[in-house]
Structure 1
Amino acid sequence: MTPIPFNKPYLAGPELEYISQAAALGKLSGNGVFTQRCQQFFEQHYGFARALLTHSGTAALEMAALLLDLQPGDEVILPSFTFTSTANAFLLRGATLVFADSSPAHPNLDPAEVARLLTPRTRAVVLVHYAGVACDLDALLPLIQQHNLILIEDAAQAIESYHGTRRLGTIGHLAAFSFHETKNISAGEGGLLAINDVRFAERAEILWEKGTNRAAFYRGETAKYEWVDVGSSFLPSEMTAAFLWAQLEHRQRIQDQRLRQWHRYQEALAPLATVGVGLPYIPAYAAAHNGHIFYLLCRSSQERQQLINHLAAHDILAVFHYQPLHDSPFFRPHYTGPDLPHAQYYAAHLVRLPLYYELSEAQQGRVAELIMQFYFSS
C-alpha cells in the first residue's frame, strides 16, 4: 500500500503562477505587491491595526519580544508545553522565563497557573493556542487587565480559529502566526505579526525595516531614510508572499477539508474513550477551531511507542509532540519551580495522527482501522 506520511504540503493551484508574477515584477526582496496584498487582507479580514509578514512565526515572536522593551528582571509567563520559539524569542531579549503547566483537560495553558505565578515583575503572558483550539480567555483576560500586563497570542497553529465569536490572534495586544509547511495555510516558511494595540504599530514597522524609517520615507512621510531604532531582517521574500497569497485565496476550501478530516477521525476513533484512551477535548468556547491537529492520549508512554511502531509497520507515520521546556537539557539547570505534571503528561502520552489536505477518506479509514485493531484485537 502507498505510505501515509505525517504531513504533506498542499498546493492550492496558483502558487507557481504567482511566484512567476513576482519574479516578473522584479522586486523579490520583500514588501512588494504580494507582501502588501497579504498584509491588507489580514488587516481587512481580521481587523488588525497592523499586519506585518515575517519570514517565520519565530520571527514574528521575536518582533513581539522586541516591542515589549524588556528590562533586566522582567518576567514573562508562558507554557512549558510548547515549541522552543515561544521561549527563545523572550529569552533572547533578557526576560526571566516563568513556565506554567497545562490544563488537566487540554494541552493549553492553565489560567489557574497564570494566577499562581504572577509577581510584581510580571510584564507579559504568552498564550499558545495548541492545535488551533483556543485558550480559556474568559478566565485569563481579567488577570491580564487587572495586572496591566501585555498579552501575546502565539497563534502559530490557530489561523481561522475562534474563541466564541472572536478570531484567535485578534484578542491579545500582539499575536504571531506561522505559515510553516505543516500549518493549514502554508508558504513553506513564513509568519505574521498581528498588532492589535495601536501603541505598537509605528515601532513595529521600524523594527521590521531593520530599525530604519524606510517605509515611512517611501510613503513620503519623512525627508530622510535613517537608522532610528533597533531592528533586524524580518521581511519574507516576495516569492514567499506570492505563495501565501495563493493559499489565502483558497483558505476556505483548505479549512473545510481539514475540518472534515478532523471530524472523520473523531467519529471513527470515539470508541477509544471506552478503554481509557483520550481524544481531543474541545471546550464550548473553542468549538469553532481549525482542525489543525488530531491527537490521541495513550495510556502510557510505552503504549504510545508501541502504537507508533504498529502504524509504522504499515507505512503510516504518527509522531509525538513537544517535550516540556522547563525540563529540557538547556533549561533544566536553570529551573527552580515546582513540577509541571500536566505538561509532562502530554509530553509522555500524546501522539499526533497524519492530517493534511490530500489525505483521502480511504487513507484515514486505514489509519483508524489500524488504531482500532491495536486496541481491540487482543
Structure 2
Amino acid sequence: MTNLNLSSNELGSKLIGSSWNRSRYIVQTRLSPDNGKYFMPCLDNPRFESVFKFTIHEIPADSHVQYTNTSLVVAQESHREPLSDGRIAIRYVPSPQISMYQVGFHHSLFSNIRAASKYTNDTIVIWAPTQDIKSCYYLLNFGQSIIDMLHEYSTINRTLVTGPINIVGIPANVHGYEIASWNLLTNNVIRILYKPEFISVKQLDEMKFELTQQLCRIWLSSPGEPARTRWKEEWFKEGVASYLAYYFLSQYDGASQHLLHRTLSQYGLEMKHSAMLHDLHHTTPPLVSFNKELAVNIPWRYKELVTMKTASLLWMVENWLGSEKFHQALIKYINSRRGMYISLEDFMASLDHDTVECSHQFFNGSTASRILNSWFHHSGYPVINVQVLRRGNVDIVQLKQAIYRISPDDKRI
C-alpha cells in the first residue's frame, strides 16, 4: 500500500499572494503513464499497480488564505480527525489496486449538482464554479439518461462503480476525458457547460459523445470494479466504447424525439468516413499492431483510426448479423466475462458461437471472426470493382478487389 499525505499548507500556498489571478482557483492532477512517475518517482512503470491511501490535512481558518470546499480523490472519504495544531485530517479508505496514472485528486472552491440512476445507486456529480453551475444541468440530465440506458442494455442490476462518478470542469486546454479514469473525470470547462447562446450544434454533439464514450468505457471495465475486468487489447475496448457511444446517442435522440435525430446508420457512415480519412496513407499500420499498447499511449495521430475504424467494423458486422442478434451476443459476452480477461480472439469466437444462425448469412459460409480478422490484420480499405457482363439472357457479375490507399506520389491505387 502506498500512502499519500497531502497538506493544504502546501496546496494552499499556491493560492496565496497578490499576484494570484482569481480565475485560477483549483489544484488538480491529470497524470499520464509517461509522466505519472514524476508524481511519485519510485513507481516508474506505467503498468505497475498498487493500493493508494490518501490523507488530506486542512489548515485552520485564516483570512489570508483562499480555502476550498471540494476534495475529490480516487477513493471514498473514511472519516475526519481533528489534530492538536488545529488542522483537520481527512482520511480516505484505500483505493482499488490501480496504476500510478489513475491516481488523482481535486481541490477547489466549486459547487456541485448531482443526479442518481433510477435502477442502481450510481450517482453522477458535476463540479464547476458556482457562477456556472446552472449551465451544467443539461450534461447532468444527459449523463443520468445514458447511465439508465446502460443499465437497461446490460439486463443485470449492477452498479458501474463504487461511489459517485465526479465530473469536474477545469480551466485547461484538454480534449476529452482521461481514458483510464472512472470516478474522477476532468475535462475542459467549456466542454461541460451548456450555454445555448454560445454553443454550436457541433460542440453539443462533441460534449454528448465524449461523456457517452467515457460512461461506456466505465461500463465495459473500470479499475473501480469490485472484481476487475481487464481487456488484453485496449485499442479494441476503445473501439467498442466508441461504437456503443454512437448506439446510445441514436437511442437517446430517438427517445427524446430530438429534432436533429440521427440514426445509427447515419452515425455509422460518419464513423466509416472518419476511419477512411485516417487510413488512406500506405504507412498506416493495421489495428493489431497496437495489441501491446496501453490505450493512453497510442500515438495521437492514430486515435481516430483505432476508435472509428474498430467502431465502423462492429457496425458493419451488426448490419450483417442483424441488430438484435449482434447486441444479444455482445451483452452476453461482456456479462459473462465480468472480473476476468477479455481478448479479441475470445470475443470473436463467442460471437461466432452465438450468431451461427444469423438472419443474414455471410457469403461462402464466412463467419464474423473471419471477416473481422481480415480487417484487423490489414491496413487500408479494399475497393471492389464491379463489372456486369451480359451473355444473352444471363448476367454475369465480375468482382475485382484492390487496396484503397494513397501512394507516395499522391495517387490512389
| Same fold, judged at TM 0.5 (above) | no
Relative contact order higher in (CA < 8 Å, ≥ 6 apart): 1
Could you say which TM-score interval applies, normalised by the shorter chain? under 0.3
In terms of fraction of residues, the more strand-rich structure is 2
Query: TM-score scaled by structure 2?
Result: 0.22
